[in-house]
């Protein structure tokens, strides 16, 4: 189980301190929500900040691209050390081509589906190739929203498909994850959890406990 705290809810004026307060653990990724004010209404940060972040932390970086043209970020950051890069299928016409290209640059490549996008829209060739599928359990764009229970069935379907076909993807879930919502998500088969406000909404000395509380069996 990997926990990927989203810095969207961290203190941007003290980002390095907040990141360091997560501690050294081998079950962590650091989730970077890139928003362009177009694919989603909100805007966050972009390439220069991500390049700097890669220099100050050893935590594997997990970039979630909520942008209309993910190809741009995938190209611009190809020499930056990122563990995983996820883009939204709704933004791209040739999903297979972009996954194939991104896999040349990054150890792990993911695709994400918004709450309104069905699992059946993902084709077997894509499912076979991707390293991660991100199920959005809120509408992308903002932290601190309420978990959408409809996402559970999607996680179950992806778990079934994975077992049936021997796919290797991780199932990541993002939005409204806390110590209550985590149970159904994990029982449905998720093995990679993004949490923003639940972790960074606590005081820094509590981050570790919050992370631990998401690691249920």
Give the one residue of 10, 50, 64, 130 binding Zn ion; rule: CB under 5 A. 64
Task: Say if CB 126 and CB 172 are below 8 A apart.
Answer: no
**Which listed residue (18, 36, 131, 174) is catalytic?**
174
The site partner of 110 among Zn ion, ligand DX5, none (C-beta below 5 to 8 Å per kind) is none
Among the candidate windows 76-84, 86-94, 140-148, 179-187, which touches ligand DX5 by CB under 6 A?
A: 140-148
Dihedral Cα 39, 44, 48, 50, nearest 10 deg: -90
Helix boundaries (H) for the chain? 15-20, 47-56, 70-76, 95-102, 124-129, 151-165, 182-187, 197-200, 207-213
Closer to ligand DX5 by Cβ: residue 3 or 130: 3
Q: Establish if 181 lies at the interface with ligand DX5 (CB under 6 A).
A: no
Q: What span, in angstroms and rounded, lies between the C-alpha atoms of 156 and 28? A: 23
The question of whether 33 is a catalytic residue gets the answer yes
DSSP 129-171: H-SEEEEESS-TT-SSPPP-TTHHHHHHHHHHHHHHHT---EE
Task: Say if CB 15 and CB 205 are below 8 A apart.
Answer: no
Smallest separation (angstroms) from Zn ion to the CB of 33:
4
Question: Across the chain, how many H-helices and E-strands are there?
Answer: 9, 8
Q: Establish if 62 lies at the interface with Zn ion (CB under 5 A).
A: no
Q: Establish if 70 lies at the interface with ligand DX5 (CB under 6 A).
A: no
Unique residue bearing structure tokens 């699992």: 119
Residue number of the CB atom closest to ligand DX5: 196
Smallest separation (angstroms) from ligand DX5 to the CB of 112:
8
Give the one residue of 145, 179, 208, 213 binding ligand DX5; rule: CB under 6 A. 145
Among the candidate windows 10-18, 32-40, 94-102, 205-213, which touches Zn ion by CB under 5 A?
A: 32-40
Smallest separation (angstroms) from ligand DX5 to the CB of 70:
14
The question of whether 174 is a catalytic residue gets the answer yes
- Chain contacts with ligand DX5 (rule: CB under 6 A): 6, 8-9, 31, 33, 64, 138, 140-145, 174-177, 194-198
Instruction: By CB under 5 A, name the binding residues for Zn ion.
Output: 33, 64, 174
């Amino acid at each position: 189980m990997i926990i990927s705290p989203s810095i969207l809810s961290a203190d941007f004026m003290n980002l390095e301190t907040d990141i360091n307060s997560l501690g050294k653990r081998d079950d962590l990724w650091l989730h970077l929500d890139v928003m362009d004010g177009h694919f989603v209404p909100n805007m966050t940060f972009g390439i220069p900040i991500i390049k700097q972040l890669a220099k100050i932390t050893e935590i594997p970086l997990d970039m979630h691209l909520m942008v209309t043209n993910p190809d741009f970020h995938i190209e611009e950051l190809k020499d930056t050390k990122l563990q995983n890069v996820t883009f939204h299928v709704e933004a791209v016409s040739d999903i297979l081509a972009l996954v194939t290209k991104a896999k040349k640059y990054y150890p792990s490549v993911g695709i994400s589906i918004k709450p309104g996008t069905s699992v059946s829209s993902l084709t077997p060739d894509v499912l076979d190739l991707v390293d991660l599928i991100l199920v959005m359990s809120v509408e992308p764009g903002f932290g601190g929203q309420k978990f959408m229970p409809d996402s559970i069935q999607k996680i179950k379907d992806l778990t079934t498909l994975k077992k049936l076909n021997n796919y290797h993807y991780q199932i990541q879930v993002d939005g409204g994850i806390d110590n209550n919502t985590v149970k159904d998500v994990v029982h449905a088969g998720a093995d990679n959890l993004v949490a923003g406000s639940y972790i960074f909404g606590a005081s820094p000395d509590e981050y570790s406990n919050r992370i631990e509380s998401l690691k249920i069996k």
